[in-house]
Amino acid sequence: MNDLRDQAIPGQVIGESTFGAFSLRLQDNIAIVSINLAGEAQNIIKTGFVDDISRLFDQLAQTAGLGGVIFTSGKPGSFIAGADIRMLADCSNAAEATALARSGQAFCDRIAAFPVPVVAAIDGVCLGGGLEFALACHGRVCSDDAKTRLGLPEVQLGLLPGSGGTQRLPRLIGPLAALDMMLTGRKLRPMQALQRGLVDDVVPASILLRAARKRLEELRSGNPDKRHKSLLSQLLEGNPLGRTLLFNQARKRTRGKTQGHYPAPERIINCVEYGLQRGISTGLQFEAENFGELSQTPQARQLMQLYFAVTALKKDRGVADTVKPRTIKRIAVLGAGLMGAGIAYVSSARAGVPVRLKDQDSAGLQRGLAYVQRQLEQRRKRRSITAYEATQQRNRITPCTDFSGFQGVDLVIEAVFEDLTLKQQIVRDIEQHCRPDTLFATNTSSIPLAR
């Protein structure tokens, strides 16, 4: 992950100022705004965010000769991860939650109405209110980094996007693709976002700001729309009968899945349909009211509590806070069966860690590697990864039938079949071929570890 704060756009830097989480510097006639929320691992929308961005845009509005604005992040891996759920949990009634949504809509409206182009340069997670922030911008470019994800996952909390998402997303990518994103909470990878028209370009993080500058110039020259809509989307947009069919089918499928137990999905459909029928201003008010009402439902309240509990568990490492986690740079997996091959695949593809995969013979290794290849090929066909990325991830796995190279691994994971004698021998082998500080993990399920 590249630190975007170190990127440079040719030109003279003229002054720098800070507005809470926003740091502004003027370069030529372009405002480069870095988002860096103090005291947080990720950028999130918290209390004071609206005031900060209002002061920022007050300053930008007074900047003579301003040609455009680029928003980027001062936190590698995080553009804006979403809103602080605690703000919503603190709302005691629907009216307070509606007002909270309206405040989010207000700052997005100000971005959308700004008289010069505004482009979001997205590197890392851009979710919930963060994506609604980006949707309000006139253009969006994102990095091809593995951590970059874009989505509106509010439905997973029993809510709907409350800062304009139900109104701007359908207008950008079409109601069909927008409903798919919002009803599932699906997080899109960079190329998926590009294919759907959610972003205008995908580039390496090292040139993200240059791509944002290029997009600004395109917008200034009168090329606002780079989307390539599908034929189905084109038929549905501007076709009232087609849209009616779309929304009716969406409701039918949703009711079949939820059985009426979760109100949020149908409210999302209602908001999209209402806004397309009556205009974005009326649609935003309708969205905020539905957001407020949903926030007080038992489903949303319980899902928010579950979210807080899961977040707390993730922070609890099971050891004292003074204990520092070890960095795992290389691992070894013993056994290339379904479990071992699966561990090797996840370690390489998801964690990006080199793996030595050991089995007793080449036939077992070939079966394990074939499994890994199938998983990678499925992801490539879904366009989750490119062919190059699939090759990279496959090449991180080195097959072997002996313990060569085990001296350099930090973690060994045993995934052989349940045989006490074999597992005891494996422990002796690891003690012989690995460093004393190597971590050893076992997948045994039926044999007591004490044996």
For the segment 315-334, the average pLDDT, to the nearest whole number, is: 85
- pLDDT more than 70, % of the chain: 92
For the chain, give me the number of helices (H) and strands (E)?
17, 16
Backbone CA torsion sign across 343, 344, 347, 349? negative
Report all structural domains of the chain as residue ranges with CATH numbers, in order of start. 4-306 (3.90.226.10), 331-442 (3.40.50.720)
Active site residue 83: yes
Q: How confident is the model at residue 4 (pLDDT cuts 50, 70, 90)?
A: very low
The predicted structure's pLDDT at residue 84: 94
Pairing of strands 331-334, 201-203: unpaired
Catalytic residue among 68, 104, 129, 151: 129
User: 6 or 81: which carries more pLDDT confidence?
Assistant: 81
- What is the tens place of the pLDDT at every residue in 190-237? 999 999 999 999 999 999 999 999 999 999 988 766 665 666 666 666
- What is the tens place of the pLDDT at every residue in 16-38? 789 999 999 999 899 999 999 99
Sole residue written with tokens 């499925």: 378
Q: Which residues of 313-334 are buried (b: 16+ CB within 10 A; e: fewer)?
A: eeeeeeeeeeeeeeeeebbbbb
- What is the tens place of the pLDDT at every residue in 225-243? 666 566 666 666 667 788 8
- What is the tens place of the pLDDT at every residue in 126-153? 999 999 999 999 999 999 998 999 999 9
Catalytic residue among 21, 31, 81, 83: 83
Instruction: Tokens for 53, please give them.
Output: 């961005």
The predicted structure's pLDDT at residue 230: 62
pTM for this prediction = 0.81
Q: In sequence order, what E strands does 77-218 have?
A: 78-80, 118-122, 125-127, 139-143, 149-151, 187-188, 201-203
Active site residue 377: no
Catalytic residue among 21, 101, 120, 132: 132
- What is the tens place of the pLDDT at every residue in 368-393? 999 999 999 999 888 778 899 999 99
Active site residue 151: no
